Amino acid sequence: MMRAKWWLGAALMLALGFPADRFLAAGSVLLAGQSDEVARDPYRVELLCTPLVAASRQPVVVSNGAELQQAIDRAVGGDTIVLAAGVTYLPPTPANSFILRNRRIPAGEWVTIRSAHEAFDASGSVRPSKRVDRSNQNLMPKLRATATNTPVIRAEAQARGYRLIGLDIGIQPGITQLANLIELGSDRDPAINVKPSDIVIDRCYVHGNDSGNYRRGVAMNGIRLSVVDSYFENFHDANSDSQAICGWNGPGPFKIVNNFLEAASENIMFGGSDPSIAQLVPADIEVRGNFMTKRLSWRSAGVPVKNAFELKNARRVLVEGNILENVWSSGQDGTAIVLKSANQEGACTWCVTEFVTFRNNIVRGAAHGVLINAAESGARGLPLPEPVNHIRIQNVLFTDIGGSRWGGGKLFRVFGGVSNLEITHVTSTGNATGILDPHSPTDLNPNLIFKYNIVERQYYGIGAGSDEGITTVTRNFAPFVYNQNVLVNTSQSTDQAISDGALKSRYPPVTTIARDWAAVGFVNGTEKLAATSPFYRAGDDGQDLGADFDTLMAAVKGAGNDGCGATRSEKPTGPPRRPK
């Protein structure tokens, strides 16, 4: 059992007037509708409930695109518009989009647009909380974009109360350029009160094509928008960044839960363009239980890739139970997770990324792990935005960071004045060229908490050379808390070989050096500590050092969209009717 104690950083932190509870309070979540506390936890995310609501009116059956738009134009709360599986629905001209109208749907009521197939019923084979995939295409009607840079579905100003279930949403052959396949809110909206709201994309297959430039699956720029149990793939653009889901001009809340998300640049991004609404910061963002990946064939095809997840302007974000993988050096240096505040076009000095919780995730197969850049502008001479602050990285497993197929190898890079960063219970089994690096000797990123981690130290560690260890921590991250970290010394086969004793002398005395990964004591074939490991339940918090493997896997496997416990059927009632 390791002897647990706070090191120099804790005393320094308190001496400078930083209360310990500011750093040690656990993150939490708030369900929509719960009362807020007077002393609100600034990390607390408002979670959207998206329960299925039983239809209260006869279903409307539509057989083509014109009938579908007519049904939407006349819809009232409680309507279910039913589309035949396997039938292609093309938007009518001249709009060339299916437009979700502002029908003044009352709060708590919905217009459902869904596949007729019973598989999508509450007790069907693709019931709520079950993620669809491309094998379910035959159960879905096909909605297709038919014009260049024109979305197949667009929400008009103040549209609200729509749920899309079991739809195959794609692009007609011959259309080779599309910005947004689904557009929920505009980047030109002048005020929050014109934003679309309360729209759910549920168990849909949303995809680009192999050949062409398909920039984005969903532009998420509204209020109370959700994407759940869906499958997004093949979003790529040789001339611009591409995302499965991106939001930059909507206040939130946003729910992105239990989806497969594939895109070349960023699988999910918030920010990236300056909002048109003054002081707007997308907030209350739940990203849970998703699989974010990039197809490896893009590498040989020369498709530029960037990151799995990026924030440039976001507040109160919960990222939990996700798998993020396959990020190589191409359009950028191959960093899986990028967190920054960005004044992209010069008009957003208020832009900020803050109060982010990144926990119980698996990050694997990338050149680098996490980059946190306090502030940047889109061009030289533009003013900087508010710096990144209050980031929690908790119980995360990193594997194959900087492996031979990816290059790179740095786990965390933090620079520019990032404040209040907490890195706890991280296990990283591959980060060959560094554990934690600032930008330069004068780069101060105050209030770091770094404890209970098990990380590889191969070529370099926290800092490099004579600055490694105590020097970098005290110079670049003070005031700080550093406690009970394990460095796994895999340097012996490199030109930076160092003995365990010499390595330990560079770090605070609460550091333990493991001679190799065998000494850590994982259960065979996993990154779970065996009960015989010296680090099992060794933390002064009563937990394993490194990631709690069981908790992490429970979050990854159990993060399906549960509709907040609602089980009511969305199946239409009564005999079908057609729009007049």
Q: What is the pLDDT of residues 164-223, one digit of tens each?
A: 999 999 999 999 999 999 999 998 898 999 999 999 999 999 999 999 999 999 999 999
288/202 same-domain check: no
Show Cβ contacts of residue 219 under 8 Å, excluding neighbours closer than 6 positions: 151, 179, 180, 182, 183, 184, 185, 187, 246, 247
413/437 same-domain check: yes
Q: Is the pLDDT of residue 28 over 70?
A: no
182/96 same-domain check: yes
Q: Is the pLDDT of residue 563 over 60?
A: no
pLDDT of residue 566: 33
Mean pLDDT score of the chain, rounded to an integer? 90
pLDDT of residue 559: 57
Q: Taking Cα atoms as reference points, which of 446, 455, 359, 548 lies closest to residue 23?
A: 446
423/463 same-domain check: yes
Give the range among 214-228, 292-306, 466-480, 548-562 with minimum mean pLDDT. Answer: 548-562
Query: What average pLDDT does this structure show over 352-370?
Result: 98
Q: What is the pTM of this model?
A: 0.91
332 domain-assigned: yes
| Torsion of the alpha carbons at 486, 492, 496 and 502, rounded to the nearest 10 | 50
Range of the domain at 118: 46-263
Q: Is the pLDDT of residue 498 over 50?
A: yes
| Cα distance between residue 314 and residue 295, in whole Å | 27
Q: Which residues pair with 401 in a beta bridge?
A: 366, 431
Number of domains the chain contains = 2
| Cα distance between residue 126 and residue 154, in whole Å | 26
296/183 same-domain check: no
Q: Is the pLDDT of residue 17 over 60?
A: no
Between 457 and 55, residue with greater pLDDT: 457
β-pair type (260-263, 231-235): parallel
Q: Are 467 and 435 contacting, i.e. CB atoms less than 8 angstroms apart?
A: no
pLDDT of residue 578: 43
477 domain-assigned: yes
437 domain-assigned: yes
Please report, as a single letter, which amino acid is at residue 356.
V
142 domain-assigned: yes
Q: Copy the structure tokens of residue 126.
A: 């693709």
Q: Is the pLDDT of residue 568 over 50?
A: no
152/286 same-domain check: no
206/314 same-domain check: no
322/430 same-domain check: yes
pLDDT of residue 408: 85
pLDDT of residue 1: 37
553/431 same-domain check: yes
Q: Is the pLDDT of residue 290 over 70?
A: yes
For residue 147, count CB atoms less than 10 angstroms from its CB and return exposed for 0-12, middle for 13-18, buried for 19 or more. middle
Give the range among 247-251, 404-408, 451-455 with minimum mean pLDDT. Answer: 404-408
Give the range among 39-48, 114-123, 371-380, 495-504 with minimum mean pLDDT. Answer: 39-48
Q: Are 433 and 465 contacting, i.e. CB atoms less than 8 angstroms apart?
A: no
Q: For 87-138, what is each residue's pLDDT tens digit?
A: 999 999 888 999 999 999 998 899 999 999 999 999 999 999 999 999 999 9
pLDDT of residue 560: 56
Q: Is the pLDDT of residue 561 over 60?
A: no
Q: Is the pLDDT of residue 299 over 80?
A: yes
Show Cβ contacts of residue 202 under 8 Å, excluding neighbours closer than 6 positions: 50, 128, 163, 164, 165, 166, 226, 228, 229, 230
Alpha-helical runs (H) found in 175-321: 297-301
193/291 same-domain check: no
| Cα distance between residue 132 and residue 258, in whole Å | 10
**CATH number of the domain encompassing residue 480:** 2.160.20
429/524 same-domain check: yes
SS3 399: strand
289 domain-assigned: yes
| Cα distance between residue 54 and residue 568, in whole Å | 6
Residue that terminates a domain, selected from 263, 294, 323: 263
299 domain-assigned: yes
Q: Please tell me the number of Cα atoms within 13 Å of 97 on its side-chain side.
A: 19
| Cα distance between residue 14 and residue 552, in whole Å | 32
208 domain-assigned: yes
Torsion angles phi and psi, residue 11, rounded to 5: -65, -40
391/430 same-domain check: yes
304 domain-assigned: yes
pLDDT of residue 562: 52
pLDDT of residue 57: 86
